[in-house]
């Protein structure tokens, strides 16, 4: 028997072309990162701003002016948020010497406590703690300074992103027409339907996600402010942004909050801050997310985590945050291609799991009915 022969089963014949296509696309995304990454970011932003742009066009504005007005509003909103975050970062940088003193005091207490518990000589324990703190503090200061020095790079990238978004909004009819005429005439309606679905899913998903992020950021800020946590605004905004990463985001947010607030607050206050963030996260996951975002995109947690890791491996931090919107686009495309429908089913979240819709949501909707 020839055990090395190539399988000729229908299953093998059906799996090979889609898998080869997916592998080629991943390779193209990896090697084409310098061009495709900014194009994907501007494309997602253009999809989000298409509806406001159409609104101004219906009011009689030419498409170019409508796109400029929408982008102007987006820039103003971004500048306000960036200004608040940047001021918090500057305040954090100015307080680094005081934080270092607090860390030294905490390390002195830790040094005495560990010396008693581990029965280590005081001089030896002092050397261990000093070496550890010397390795930690320069890295923290370097990270903050490095973040501030990247401002010019971010500014240039933002300008280029706005220009590309403006051009995509201006020439969106040409882009849709290109893909429509690329395929046979009998597939023209299908292509147009795919574009409409992608636009609806991305617009609804990103809009819902932004609403959820704002609500969660306000809740985080209220909890941390009431507990007397310094940098409450900065920590709440960062936590709300990275919380979109399934499971990983809230863990990083809690660790970051604990590490920064422990230098200026008591351990009990830090513990209450972490508990408050976890409670808000559970309320968000069981109530806010199913109502605001749950109906916009049906993607299970496993596919989301795989997409986040894949995006991080291909495009770094930008790929991490673009992973879920791009996964939604991929799912819409796979649903329209017969050979790729099984993969779309694998991404979906249409199972009848009990916790998919909590009991509280059912009661609320039942009362509304």
For 291-310, the pLDDT digits (tens) are 776 555 667 878 888 888 89
CA distance 31 to 47: 25
pLDDT at 353 over 60: no
Q: Please answer whether residues 249 and 242 qualify as being in contact, where contact means their C-beta atoms are separated by less than 8 angstroms.
A: yes
CA 216 → CA 84, 180, 200, 278, distances in Å? 17, 40, 24, 11
- Mean pLDDT, all residues of the chain: 76
SS (H, E, C) the chain: CCCCCCCCCHHHHHHHHHHHHHHHHHHHHHHCHHHHHHHHHHHHHHHHHHHHHHHHHHCCCCHHHHHHHHHHHHHHHHHHHHHHHHHHHHHHHHCHHHHHHHHHHHHHHHHHHHHHHHCCCHHHHHHHHHHHHHHHHHHHHHHHHHHHHCHHHHHHHHHHHHHHHHHHHHCHHHHHHHHHHHCCHHHHHHHHHHHHHHHHHHHHHHHHHHHHHHHHHHHHHHHHHHCCCCCHHHHHHHHHHHCCCCCHHHHHHHHHHHHHHCCCCCHHHHHHHHHHHHHHHHHHHHHHHHHHCCCCCCCCHHHHHHHHHHHHHHHHHHHHHHHHHHHHHHHHHHHHCHHHHHHHHHHCCCCCCHHHCCHHHHHHHHHHC
Angle, in degrees to the nearest 10, between helices 301-336 and 188-226? 160
Residues contacting 287, CB < 8 A, separation 6+: 358, 360, 361
How far is it, in rounded angstroms, from Cα 39 to Cα 33? 9
**Could you give the percent of the chain with pLDDT greater than 90?**
7
Of residues 263 and 219, more confidence is placed in: 219
At 69 the pLDDT is 92
Kindly tell me if the per-residue pLDDT of 352 is higher than 60. no
264 vs 272 pLDDT, higher one: 272
Q: State yes or no: pLDDT of 136 exceeds 60.
A: no
Residue 126 confidence (pLDDT) above 70: no
What confidence tier does 357 reach under pLDDT thresholds 50, 70, 90?
very low
**Of 356 and 221, the one with more pLDDT:** 221
Residue of higher predicted confidence among 205 and 33: 33
The answer, yes or no, to whether residue 211 has pLDDT greater than 50, is yes
- Closest to 348 measured CA to CA, from 279, 305, 298, 309: 298
pLDDT of residue 212: 84
How much is the pTM?
Answer: 0.68
Residue from 304, 243, 323 nearest 277 by CA? 243
- Give mean pLDDT, residues 341-345: 85
Q: How far apart are CA 369 and CA 365, in angstroms?
A: 6
- pLDDT higher than 50, residue 1: no
pLDDT class for 83, splitting at 50, 70, 90?
A: confident
Task: Please give the pLDDT value at position 222.
Answer: 92
Q: What is the mean pLDDT of residues 322-339?
A: 84
pLDDT single digits (tens) 137-186 = 444 454 455 555 555 666 777 788 889 999 999 998 888 888 777 776 66
Per-residue pLDDT band for 252 (boundaries 50, 70, 90) equals confident
């Amino acid at each position: 028997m020839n055990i090395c022969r190539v399988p000729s089963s229908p299953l093998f014949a059906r799996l090979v072309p889609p898998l080869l296509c997916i592998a080629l696309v991943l390779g193209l995304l990896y090697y084409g990162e310098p061009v495709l990454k900014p194009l994907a970011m501007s494309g997602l932003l253009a999809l989000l701003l298409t509806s406001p742009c159409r609104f101004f066009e219906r009011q009689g504005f030419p498409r170019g002016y409508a796109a400029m007005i929408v982008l102007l509003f987006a820039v103003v909103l971004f500048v306000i948020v960036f200004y608040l975050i940047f001021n918090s970062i500057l305040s954090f940088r100015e307080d680094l010497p005081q934080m270092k003193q607090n860390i030294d005091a905490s390390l002195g207490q830790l040094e005495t406590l560990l010396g008693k518990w581990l029965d280590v000589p005081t001089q030896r324990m002092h050397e261990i703690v000093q070496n550890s703190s010397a390795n930690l503090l320069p890295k923290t200061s370097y990270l903050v300074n490095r973040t501030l020095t990247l401002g010019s790079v971010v500014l240039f990238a933002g300008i280029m992103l706005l220009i590309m978004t403006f051009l995509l909004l201006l020439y969106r009819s040409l882009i849709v027409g290109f893909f429509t005429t690329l395929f046979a005439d009998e597939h023209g309606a299908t292509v147009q339907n795919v574009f409409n679905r992608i636009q609806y899913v991305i617009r609804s998903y990103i809009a819902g996600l932004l609403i959820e992020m704002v609500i969660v950021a306000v809740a985080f800020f209220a909890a941390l402010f009431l507990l007397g946590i310094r940098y409450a605004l900065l920590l709440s905004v960062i936590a709300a942004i990275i919380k979109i990463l399934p499971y990983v985001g809230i863990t990083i947010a809690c660790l970051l909050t604990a590490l920064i607030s422990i230098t200026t607050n008591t351990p009990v206050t830090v513990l209450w801050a972490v508990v408050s963030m976890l409670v808000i996260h559970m309320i968000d996951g069981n109530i806010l997310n199913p109502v605001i975002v749950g109906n916009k995109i049906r993607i299970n947690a496993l596919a989301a985590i795989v997409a986040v890791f894949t995006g991080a491996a291909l495009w770094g931090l930008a790929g991490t945050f673009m992973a879920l919107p791009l996964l939604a686009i991929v799912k819409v495309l796979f649903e329209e291609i017969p050979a790729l429908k099984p993969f779309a089913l694998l991404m979906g979240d249409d199972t009848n799991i009990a916790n998919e819709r909590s009991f509280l949501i059912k009661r609320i909707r039942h009362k509304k009915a």
